[in-house]
Amino acid sequence: MCGIRRFLGHWHLTREISGGGRFDGVAVIAPDGAGGAVYDEEGVLSLPGQPPFQATRRYLWRQEGDGIAVCFADGRFFHRFDPAMPAPQARHLCPPDLYDVTYDFTDWPRWSALWRVEGPRKSYVMRSDYVAAALTAPGQDAMALP
């Protein structure tokens, strides 16, 4: 089984958002003590026409069989993916907007998430690229757990 354990550690994170947005920062995925994990990211978000600002995001990850359920920080379900698949897909409906994601784990320990968001309130594409900190900074977490 390819579960949450594989993701634990520090990741360099870059995110490109259609329309000229960019996020540069780190994501830390740490055990929560109950078999799941807490995903925290922080960095600098740059949007066209605005000064760059600090941004943070938190998700809760739960192992569900062979899959990982991703929940918002308040515990509400967001989506589920199977990390054993090379390019798992998931969908989240937040009426009236629709969020589709395709993960790419084919170059582990580099991976990405490509989001396509459509609806009357939102329409954008966002790509997040994760690189294990161990690949860029010796002495960091080893990200090659089975």
Residue-wise pLDDT tens digits, 20-77:
999 999 999 999 999 999 999 999 999 999 999 999 999 999 999 999 999 999 999 9
Give the pLDDT of residue 143.
43
pTM: 0.90
Pick the closest to residue 135 from 1, 9, 3, 5 (CA basis).
9
DSSP labels for the chain?
Answer: ---GGGG-EEEEEEEEETTTEEEEEEEEEEE-SSS-EEEEEEEEEE-TTS--EEEEEEEEEEEETTEEEEEETTS-EEEEE-TTSSS-EEEEEETTEEEEEEEEEEETTEEEEEEEEESSS-EEEEEEEEEEHHHHSTTS------
Structural domains for the chain = 4-136 (2.40.128.20)
| The token pair that represents 98 in the structure block | 């629709």
> What average pLDDT does this structure show over 2-29?
96
pLDDT in tens, 100-127: 999 999 999 999 999 999 999 899 999 9
pLDDT in tens, 69-105: 999 999 999 999 999 999 999 999 999 999 999 999 9
